[in-house]
Amino acid sequence: MLKETSYKTAAMLAAVAVLTVALAATVRAADDATGNSMQAQIDHGKSTYASKCSHCHGPNMMNSGTITPDLRAFPDDKTRFVTTVKNGKNNKMPPWADILSDDEIGNLWAFVSSRRKP
């Protein structure tokens, strides 16, 4: 009786250990080459967006789409994104090259990509 209980406890502990290892592996797999997790990049991009872009492109990228384009519909084209954000466009979209670092623009891209409409 006592022995059976301790087998069960041991089995449960083993299961918890396996789950912990699996979880740690999943978190590591999401890290990029620079060691920043994708989620960390998205979070940074989100706060940069909120302070620098949201007054024109709408809170959390939601706007009527009539004055500024809906960034959730922006194509999966990082080069075009980085170029526009750095240089601006048509004197309406301001240039950010002197204000945002490449890392910050990369994080913005991670955030925009995370909100892309299917």
**Which residues, 6+ apart, have CB-to-CB distance to 30 below 8 Å?**
37, 38, 39
CB atoms closer than 10 angstroms to residue 72: 18
Of 46, 57, 61, 110, the residue at the interface with ligand HEC (CB under 6 A) is 57
81 lies in the site for ligand HEC, by CB under 6 A? yes
Q: Which amino acid is at 35?
A: G
Stretch that binds ligand HEC, among 4-12, 15-23, 27-35, 48-56 (CB under 6 A): 48-56
- Sign, Cα dihedral of 73, 36, 30, 13: negative
Nearest to 59 by CA among 74, 49, 44: 49
CA dihedral 71, 116, 75, 94 (to 10 degrees): 20
User: What's the closest the beta carbon of residue 14 comes to ligand HEC, in angstroms?
Assistant: 48
92 lies in the site for ligand HEC, by CB under 6 A? yes
User: What's the closest the beta carbon of residue 23 comes to ligand HEC, in angstroms?
Assistant: 33
56 lies in the site for ligand HEC, by CB under 6 A? yes
80 lies in the site for ligand HEC, by CB under 6 A? yes
89 lies in the site for ligand HEC, by CB under 6 A? yes
Residues of this chain that bind ligand HEC (CB under 6 A) = 52-53, 56-57, 68-69, 71, 74, 80-81, 84-85, 89-90, 92-94, 96, 108
